[in-house]
Amino acid sequence: MRRDFVTVDVFTDRRFGGNPLAVVLDGTGLTAEQMQAVAAEFNLSETTFVLPPRDPAHTAEVRIFTPRAELPFAGHPNVGTAFAVARCGTVHGRAVGDSPVFEEKAGLVPLEIMRDGASVLGAWLTAPQPLRRGEEVAAETVAAACSLAPGDIATDRHAPCVAGCGTFFIIAELAGGDALAKAAPRPDVFAAKFPVDGATGILLYRRDGTGGVDIRARMFAPLHGVPEDPATGSANVALAGLLASLAPQADLSLRLRIAQGIEMGRPSLLEASAEKRRGAVVETRIGGRCVAVMAGTIDI
C-alpha cells in the first residue's frame, strides 16, 4: 500500500540545514517491523509514523524510529511532525489547531505551533517527563568514546552524567578550546562501555556567549545508527533542565539558544527553556523553526 510522506529540516529556517526528518503521514496498520524497515530505508536520524490517537482528546499517536531502534521520545521528530501535520491542517480527520498533543511511548507530548499569519513556521514542545538525573560516568570513559583527552572534559560544574526528560543521554561539559571541534565518536568504545543507566548517546557541550548563542553542542549515538546528530531536541531539553537544576537559585526561568550541527555543515538553532520552582525543575521545553523539503509516496 502506498503511504504519503514528507521530509522536513528541523531547527533551521533554510533548506539543507538543521536535522532532516521523514514523516509518514498515515502509519495505520503498519507493524513495528515495517516501520523499522522504512526508517532504515530513509536512513535519517529519525523517521516518524502518525497514527490515530488512542484517546480522542488527543491529536495523534506518534511513533519514532532511528535506523536501528524505536525511541520513546525525541525532540526534533516531535517539532518536525507537528510542523508537518499543522501544514496539512488535519490529521486522521481531526483539526490540528495551535496546541496539538501527541501520544508517545514516554507519555503525552504537548506542542505549540509557531505561526506567522497563515504560515506555519515551526513548533515548541513540552517534555513528557520531568527531568531525571541518573548515574555519573567517568570523564575518562566519555573522553575515550569521543576521541578526546580526559582533560578536555570539564567537571567543575558537574561530572558527566545521565539525564533525560523521556529519553536519556550522557551529558558532558567540555573545558573549552578546540575540544568540541576535534571530538569524534569511537563506535568500539560505545559498544564496550554503553549503555549506562539506559543511555547510549553522548551530548557534549560548551558554553559560548557569542553571536546570540549560549551553548554549542554535538551529539553522538552510533549504537542507534546515528554517528552524529545535527540537532537533538531531547538531549538539549534535558541539558536545559540539568543546568537549571544545578543553578543556586530556588526559582529560575532559564532560556538558552543552542547551536548544533555546525561541524557537520548542517547548522541548527534550538531554543530551550526550563522552569525551576522551590528548588525543583517543573517544566522543560524546546522548539525551533522548520522548512518543508520533499513530499512523495512510499510502498509498504
pLDDT digits (tens, 9 = 90+) for 212-264: 999 999 999 999 999 999 999 999 999 999 999 999 999 999 999 999 999 99
State the Cα–Cα distance between residues 238 and 284, nearest whole angstrom: 8
Q: What is the pLDDT at residue 91? A: 96
Together in a domain, 110 and 152: no
- Strand 252-260 to 213-221 pairing: parallel
Together in a domain, 102 and 161: no
Together in a domain, 158 and 276: yes
Together in a domain, 157 and 118: no
Strand partners, 180: none
State the Cα–Cα distance between residues 217 and 206, nearest whole angstrom: 7
Together in a domain, 55 and 168: no
Instruction: Tell me the mean pLDDT in the region 127-137.
Output: 98
- Angle, helix 75-88 to helix 233-246, in steps of 10 degrees: 120
Together in a domain, 68 and 214: no
Together in a domain, 172 and 118: no
- Strand 90-91 to 161-164 pairing: unpaired
SS3 content of the chain, % helix, strand, coil (to 5): 20, 45, 35
Q: How many domains does the chain have?
A: 2
State the Cα–Cα distance between residues 261 and 266, nearest whole angstrom: 5
Instruction: Tell me the mean pLDDT in the region 188-201.
Output: 97
Together in a domain, 71 and 136: no
Q: How confident is the model at residue 14 (pLDDT cuts 50, 70, 90)?
A: very high
- Strand 201-210 to 168-174 pairing: parallel
Cell numbers for 170: 550522557
Together in a domain, 187 and 207: yes
Peptide bond into 100 cis (omega under 30): no
- The residue to which cell 558537574 is assigned: 158
pTM confidence score: 0.97
Catalytic residue among 33, 46, 103, 275: 46
Query: 176's torsion region: left (phi>0), alpha (psi -120 to 50) or beta?
Result: left
State percent of the chain over pLDDT 90: 97
pLDDT digits (tens, 9 = 90+) for 155-175: 999 999 999 999 999 999 999
The domain in which residue 34 lies consists of: 2-128+289-299
Q: How confident is the model at residue 176 (pLDDT cuts 50, 70, 90)?
A: confident
Together in a domain, 187 and 79: no
Together in a domain, 203 and 108: no
Instruction: Tell me the mean pLDDT in the region 201-209.
Output: 96
Average pLDDT of the chain to the nearest whole number: 97
Q: How confident is the model at residue 177 (pLDDT cuts 50, 70, 90)?
A: confident
Give 218's contacts (C-beta < 8 A, 6+ positions apart).
Answer: 180, 183, 203, 204, 205, 228, 260, 263
Does residue 206 carry a pLDDT above 90? yes
Query: Dihedrals φ, ψ of 188, to 5°?
Result: -65, -40
CATH number for the domain harbouring residue 168: 3.10.310.10
State the Cα–Cα distance between residues 17 and 24, nearest whole angstrom: 21
Cell numbers for 125: 514542545
Residue 46 annotated in active site: yes
Together in a domain, 241 and 175: yes
Rg (CA), the chain: 18
State the Cα–Cα distance between residues 19 and 79, nearest whole angstrom: 11
